[in-house]
Amino acid sequence: MEKKYYKNIIAKIKDKETILSIASIMTFLEDKSAFKIIFRLYRIKSFTNNIFLEDIYKILSNKFTSDLVYKIIELYLKNDVSFDSIKNCKGDNNTIKIITNIKYSKKLKNYQTFIEYPPLLHIKDSVIIRILISNISKNLDSLLNSNKFVNINDIFAIKNNQIEFYVVHKIYNSYNGWGISW
């Protein structure tokens, strides 16, 4: 029997303009012999005005302290949000999908991680994507190999000095479009 967990993330890397929204579905077998995390990548924008979160962040950052910017963004995201799929190349209608498979190796007596990246050649700041996905995958791999209790929240807790902000959030229906809360 499989169990599924859903986690959504907003992340920004220092010195980069891109702010990513990552939707993830984590699936694991009841016997914990195999895990899979499917990541899909989006950019957040205003539903009614089509203004991307990066632009709002940039404007606010020029006028306010980072603490105040994060508070304003948190309030802004509660209503009137939409998601724009990040696609690998022009003309492709599919949202980028990155798959992490973690399987137990009886021969090696530990878990092994395999990440399937599609070609990210046309993606602005593809390094950001690799940093985030590899950190989440390493967290799960480390927890499994240390035989510790696996708390789903610990898998998605990233501590990396390259990350300016990183928020695990929930998405809900709002008056205009979607809303995000953390």
Q: What is the pLDDT of residues 88-142, one digit of tens each?
A: 766 667 788 899 999 988 999 999 999 988 876 556 667 778 888 888 998 888 8
Q: What pLDDT does residue 33 have?
A: 80
Q: What pLDDT does residue 89 have?
A: 66
User: What's the domain count of the chain?
Assistant: 1
- Which residue segment(s) compose the domain that 9 sits in? 2-181
> Which tokens in the block code for residue 32?
């914990």
- For residue 111, report the phi and psi dihedrals to the nearest 5 degrees: -85, 140
- The per-residue DSSP string of the chain comes to -EEEEEEEEEEEETT---EEEEEEEEEEETTSSEEEEEEEEEEEEETTT--BHHHHHHHHHTTS-HHHHHHHHHHHTTSSEEEEE-BSSTT--SBPEEEEEEEEETTTTEEEEEEEPPP-TTSTTHHHHHHHHHHHHHHHHHHHHTT----HHHHT----TTEEEEEEEEEEE-SSBEEEE-
Q: What is the pLDDT of residues 33-42, one digit of tens each?
A: 888 999 998 9
- Provide the 8-state DSSP code for 101: E
Q: pTM here?
A: 0.86
β pairing state of 97-105 and 34-46: antiparallel
Q: What is the pLDDT of residues 132-172, one digit of tens each?
A: 888 899 888 888 888 877 788 888 888 888 888 889 999 99
